[in-house]
Structure 1
Amino acid sequence: MKAKRVLVLAALVFFLIQCAAAQRNTLNSSSEWSALRRLRSSLGLRARDWPIKADPCRNWTGIECREGRVTVISVSGLRRSRVGRMNPRFAVDALANLTLLETFNASGFLLPGSIPESFGYGLPGLRVLDLRSCAVNGAIPSSLGSLSRLKYLYLSDNSLTGNIASSLGQLNELLVLDLSRNFLTGSIPASFSMMSKLSTLDLSSNFISGTVPAGLGSIFSLLVLNLSDNSLTASIPGELGNLSRLVELDLSKNSFSGALPVELGGLRSLKGMRIGSSGLEGQLPEGFFSGLAQLEVVVLSENKLDGRIPSEVWSFPGLRLIDISANNFTGELPSTGLNGNVTQAIFNFSNNMLYGSLNSSIRFFNLTDLSGNFFQGKVSDDSRRNATLDRNCLQVLPDQRSSADCKLFYSERGLQFDDFGASGPTDSPSQVSASKKNRRRVYILIGVFGGLALSVVMVVILVLLLRKCCNKGIPDQGGIADKGPAPDGDGQMVPKEPSELSGLGDVFSYEQLAHVTSEFSESNLIKHGHSGDLYQGILENGTIVVIKRVDLHSFDRESYIRELEIFGKISHTRFVPLLGHCFEHEHEKLLVYKYMPNGDLASSFYRATDLEDESLQSLDWITRLKIATGAAEALSYLHHECNPPLVHRGVASFVKNECSVPHCMLYFPTRADKTATAYVLS
């Protein structure tokens, strides 16, 4: 009996605790109730996500509360009602009454319009503000600098204009500042050096000019610094070498002058250095790489760097890619030493002025591009499989430079050129005479057999012409007339992977991509594409990507190679960006694309709305005109600007509005309203 009383008492206590917890998770502020209703109305949210009669803390999607007060609002991924879609706008004034709000996340939720100045004054407790891909425009209000508790500020992928507000430097608690992919101008505020806790600063893909503030080198907590694709000038400040914790540095696609600062050799935690297409000149500092033991990716391509390649390039144990192509490096290739995992890395030394004989150890490397240099001598068959060697001065190999070009290069430097093997050891007169006789016999045999071959070819052509004349008038069946049978599998040439890797983005490991897709699980699967399965994943830096998994046992290898060649050779804003690749496995290739969060073109032209209203809403004709204009621009590029022109079969309308990523896709955005269309090259 006593035991029963104890059980009843315990149950009662548990019940009371649950009731208290439920009470705490019930919204108990009338002013916040009213504010949420106004926000629901101004954003035009659906009743199924924010039901008007239900408690927001318990039943509204994306709402979180603490002690009966709203602390988190996330409308990312929610859809508007039919009325809300008719008038989307930046209307979030009601947030000012949610005084304990810590997080507002509207990533991917369209909020066209500018951020009002009042936004920065009414949310004193805000810690996270995420407005990525929201179609926000106008200037960044200086009032955001008043959000003293803010830790994460994401404003990327919008249409923000004007100068960067210097007041942002007052955000002393800020950890991440991402203003990338906007239309910002002016210079980088010197006040940014006061953000002492900042770990990520991303200002890439804007129109920022001026110099890189030396004060950025005093933000010792910085892990990621990305200033790429801007119009920055002058020299790279050596003070950046003080960032001992920096892991990723991207200064590519700017207009710097001068040499690479020797101080950057002190970035001992650096894993990725990308300073391609930045106007750098001069030699790499002596011993520059010796202190960068953690480097995995080095991109210094398309600069004006010269001198010799330091031997330390082979010494990084975790190296995955080094691209120093399209510079003026000269001298012989340094001896490798084959330390660590260097043989698994990809090396692109193409289009420089390297010369001399090739070290036989290049056959051990995963992939090496040495094209467009002046190497001479012979190369073993093993080395040819792993290296791209065209446009050199090598013996026997096809697609080499002319003898005149090679002789001129070597003579200008006072070096000896083997003249493709013709300048070998001196032979005796008898050996020379015998050699001439042998060559004469060879020429005679070539003439005889060449004449016979020409006769056979002429006969074959004549037979084909007669056959065509006889078959003229026979109706074409199935639209495939004049097409012969497909070649047998045994006789088909297996295409090689393209050697130009600079257009294929970053190099990812298989383990890394398997991790971000939960081991390619069904929950991450987007669709089974005709050229590969598509999975969604989120990289370590928070970037959402689509990973195409191409199984060469099941899919056509030639189509896959064609897709790589297109991305390796063509650079145009109408292509969905290819961010990277993984070629570790022979029969399974992984391509990493930018994720496009919205729907496809077909459903945008005639799109069914939610269950509350099953009518169809068509795109307006101004938007359709923009789509047609974008499509025409891209097709014109393929037909008239590509050399040679790209011929496509059956251009199919595919995806719009910053699309989800399928096969080799073109997309045509207009930055004003983010409307786009896409096409597949079949």
Structure 2
Amino acid sequence: MGAQRNVLPILFLVLISFLTQSVLTQPVTINSQTERRALLDLRSSLGLRGKDWPIKTDPCTTWTGIRCQNGTVTNITVSGLRRTRIGRLYPRFNVESLLNLTRLISFNASGFPLPGSIPDLFGNRLVHLEVLDLRSCNISGSIPSSLGNSSRLSSLYLSNNNLAGSIPSVLGELKNLKSLDLSINSLTGSIPLSFGSLINIEELQLSSNYLSGSIPPSLSSLKALKVLNVSDNNLSGSIPVQFSNLSKLLELDLSKNSLYGSLPVEFTMLKSLQKMIIENNELEGRLPVDLFSNLVELQVVDLSGNKLDGDVNGSFWSMPNLTVFDVSNNNFSGHLPAPSSNHSVAPGAVFNLSNNLFYGTLDFSLRMFKFIDVSGNYLQGIVNDDERNASVNMNCFQRPNQRSLDDCRTFYNERGLRFDNSGAPPSTAAKSSSGSRRWIFILAGVLGGLGFILVLVLVLVLLLRRYNTGLTNQRRSTDIGPVRESDSAPQLPKDPTNVSGSGDPFTYEQLLRATGNFSDTNFIKHGHSGDLFRGILEGGIPVVIKKVNSSSFKKESYTTELELFRKLSHTRFIPLLGHCLEHETDKLLVYKYMPNGDLANSFYRAINSDDDSLKSLDWITRLKVATGAAEGLCYLHHECNPPLVHRDIQASSILLDDKFEVRLGSLSEVHCQEGDTHQKVLTRLLRKPGPS
């Protein structure tokens, strides 16, 4: 009976707790008509689908990406939502209705296109805002200084946009900021000294911009900093020794700048460091002796592409968490230290020590590594031929694909070292030199180019003969070709806006955003019928946009091409995705982007930036290109009535997609063949490559 009395109070408390929890977890509907109207206005201005934000339901309980507290909207996430068709055609950064959401804490639009500049309302009016995520939103303009007023802001993400100008120093006043990501933009100027006041910052991402000047030593006062990435900028100067104060730093990326000086000895104090990436700078001098023995948490080490010298302490082999160790393309020298034992090598790690000045014999087996690259040094001795987990070329080993004997002897003699050339590499490897290889590649490329041109000429001559023999029958046939018979150029539309069948219509604003206002960085070249620019459409689709200025080019520069695409269709033509004729002077044609460019640039390619060797297209690909070009020309010559001639066949008008399939460009020059059947078909075939 006493036990029952003890159980009853417990059951009562459990029941009360359950009922309380049920009440607290019930969704609360929106309690402000002003906020409801604001959300409806936002739905309209952003062009959101009714499926995601249905007008007849409660926003707090059913709308995707909306979160409320006590009936008040606090979080809005439009990332991942889709626009209506009209919304996709006319996207804009119109969020004025957010002014009526006075308790908004978070606005996340990452990956949702919002072309335009960042409104001041985020900093001036939304006083409770803590998270602003505008990554990959196609934003342009500058970073507004008004964001410095967002005193509660803890996360600011503006990466992968088209932001330009300098970084406002007032951002350094955001004391609550923990994450700041401004990477992958076009920001200029220096890193603000005020950033040293971001006492709570944990992640600072400024990579892939055009920042210049030195790295402020004041960043060393950011005691909470865990990630610092300023890579791929134009920064110079030395690495601040004060960085040793960043005791919580996990990731440091200073790569692809112009930093000089030595690696600070004080870096040995960064006990928590997991990633140290400082490749492609101008660092020189020796590495701190205890660097790798002290930094046992390191997972990734990349110091490649510098001017570091001296020997390397063998403690790097045994860092327990190591996955990548890359010190290639430096001036390290001496004997390559051997691991203390097979078991001391970091399991699963990849080592790259190539293109240095290491010499002597290898006192360890290469089989103990997942992969190791020691190519481009002066190591000697015998290495087994079956080491598939290693790259050992261009050394002084007794095996093929090594340096010449003269090169090896000279290196060892200059240092007063003994070179053992017993069992020397095959003479073919010894006789080869970088100079001779260079001329062999150049000669092969020249002969290959001449061969390709001869193949193309022969194919065209055969096509012309076939066309000449069948011309009479073709002239008598009924006019069923894709182009109406005419004695001159293809008939142009009287109204140049009558372009049905010529791809999708684009607005001028859309194409301005796609090309960054036709910026110089997106400029490709001047063509004889317009200027070509790279562009990125909404959704990340790469395109090429031809800009035809009516004051500089004739009207036929674009109307002929539009008419051609309206009437003709062939897989060998460059795909026309759309057009924009609404601007008074600038007429725009939008083409599919060809990853391999034109034949003029793809035929000869450098193997790498450090070698003068050239690589040309293999013969199978050359034949594929010749056949593809012939198919496109055959269509114009034989399947169109009246026959058409391209009039601009050259290397720069033969475009290549990702599989090296041919797409003919420069179609504004297409014209009906007049008079003699062979008239001017080959007049421009052998013309020197130039702009198209």
**TM-score, structure 2 normalization:** 0.62
Match of 1:645 in 2: 616
State the one-letter code of the partner of 2:58.
D
Match of 1:365 in 2: 369
State the one-letter code of the partner of 1:123.
L
Deviation at 1:421, TM superposition (A): 3.6
Residues in 2 aligned to 1:303 and 1:149: alpha-carbon distance in whole angstroms: 42
What does the per-residue CA deviation read over 1:77-124, in whole Å, with 9 as the maximum and x for residues that have no partner? 111112212211111111121111111110110000001223311111
Q: Give the secondary-structure state (helix, strand or coil) at the position aligned to 2:267.
A: helix
CA contact (8 A) 2:261 2:284 kept: yes
Equivalent in 360, 382, 394 of residue 378 of structure 1: 382
Structure 2 CA distance for partners of 1:601 and 1:266, relative to 1, 3 Å: closer
Match of 1:273 in 2: 276
Segments of 5+ residues of structure 1 without an aligned counterpart are 1-6, 424-572, 574-595, 603-616, 653-676
Q: Give the secondary-structure state (helix, strand or coil) at the position aligned to 2:42.
A: helix
Q: Give the secondary-structure state (helix, strand or coil) at the position aligned to 2:365.
A: helix
State the one-letter code of the partner of 1:408.
T
State the one-letter code of the partner of 1:640.
Y
Residues in 2 aligned to 1:18 and 1:207: alpha-carbon distance in whole angstroms: 54
State the one-letter code of the partner of 1:101.
L
Structure 2 CA distance for partners of 1:70 and 1:402, relative to 1, 3 Å: same
Segments of 5+ residues of structure 2 without an aligned counterpart are 1-10, 426-521, 523-536, 544-575, 582-586, 607-613, 629-655, 662-692
Match of 1:344 in 2: 348
Residues in 1 aligned to 2:16 and 2:402: alpha-carbon distance in whole angstroms: 88
Structure 2 CA distance for partners of 1:19 and 1:240, relative to 1, 3 Å: closer
What does the per-residue CA deviation read over 1:631-652, in whole Å, with 9 as the maximum and x for residues that have no partner? 4637665433344135696899
Residues in 2 aligned to 1:376 and 1:14: alpha-carbon distance in whole angstroms: 77
Structure 2 CA distance for partners of 1:284 and 1:19, relative to 1, 3 Å: closer
Match of 1:187 in 2: 190
Deviation at 1:125, TM superposition (A): 1.0
Residues in 1 aligned to 2:157 and 2:352: alpha-carbon distance in whole angstroms: 35
State the one-letter code of the partner of 2:155.
Y
Q: Which has the larger Rg?
A: 2
Deviation at 1:680, TM superposition (A): 5.0
Residues in 2 aligned to 1:366 and 1:680: alpha-carbon distance in whole angstroms: 33
Q: Give the secondary-structure state (helix, strand or coil) at the position aligned to 1:257.
A: strand
Match of 2:658 in 1: 679
Residues in 1 aligned to 2:45 and 2:81: alpha-carbon distance in whole angstroms: 14
Deviation at 1:141, TM superposition (A): 0.4
Structure 2 CA distance for partners of 1:347 and 1:336, relative to 1, 3 Å: same
Are 2:391 and 1:388 equivalent residues in the alignment? yes
Residues in 2 aligned to 1:191 and 1:267: alpha-carbon distance in whole angstroms: 24
Q: How does 1:492-531 map to 2 (within 5 A)?
A: none
Structure 2 CA distance for partners of 1:71 and 1:363, relative to 1, 3 Å: same
State the one-letter code of the partner of 1:224.
V
Deviation at 1:413, TM superposition (A): 0.2
Residues in 2 aligned to 1:275 and 1:196: alpha-carbon distance in whole angstroms: 25
State the one-letter code of the partner of 1:285.
P
Residues in 2 aligned to 1:636 and 1:156: alpha-carbon distance in whole angstroms: 35
Equivalent in 216, 224, 232 of residue 213 of structure 1: 216
What does the per-residue CA deviation read over 1:368-404, in whole Å, with 9 as the maximum and x for residues that have no partner? 101000011112456x333211101111x11111110
CA contact (8 A) 2:208 2:231 kept: yes
Match of 2:77 in 1: 74
Residues in 1 aligned to 2:195 and 2:140: alpha-carbon distance in whole angstroms: 22
CA contact (8 A) 1:27 1:68 kept: yes
CA contact (8 A) 1:393 1:420 kept: no
Residues in 2 aligned to 1:49 and 1:678: alpha-carbon distance in whole angstroms: 38
Residues in 1 aligned to 2:78 and 2:588: alpha-carbon distance in whole angstroms: 28
Match of 1:554 in 2: none
Residues in 2 aligned to 1:368 and 1:159: alpha-carbon distance in whole angstroms: 40
Count of paired positions: 466
What does the per-residue CA deviation read over 1:165-191, in whole Å, with 9 as the maximum and x for residues that have no partner? 111111111111111100000000111
Match of 1:415 in 2: 417
Residues in 1 aligned to 2:660 and 2:275: alpha-carbon distance in whole angstroms: 33
Q: Give the secondary-structure state (helix, strand or coil) at the position aligned to 2:328.
A: coil
CA contact (8 A) 2:127 2:150 kept: yes
CA contact (8 A) 1:296 1:320 kept: yes
Structure 2 CA distance for partners of 1:343 and 1:46, relative to 1, 3 Å: closer
Deviation at 1:20, TM superposition (A): 7.9
Residues in 1 aligned to 2:413 and 2:186: alpha-carbon distance in whole angstroms: 50
Match of 1:201 in 2: 204
Q: Give the secondary-structure state (helix, strand or coil) at the position aligned to 2:261.
A: coil
| Superposition CA RMSD, Å | 3.5
Q: How does 1:221-300 map to 2 (within 5 A)?
A: 221-300=224-303
Deviation at 1:157, TM superposition (A): 0.6
Q: Give the secondary-structure state (helix, strand or coil) at the position aligned to 1:404.
A: helix
**TM-score, structure 1 normalization:** 0.63
State the one-letter code of the partner of 1:415.
L
Match of 1:609 in 2: none
Q: How does 1:4-403 map to 2 (within 5 A)?
A: 25-338=28-341, 340-381=344-385, 384-395=387-398, 397-403=399-405
State the one-letter code of the partner of 2:603.
H
Residues in 2 aligned to 1:12 and 1:368: alpha-carbon distance in whole angstroms: 66
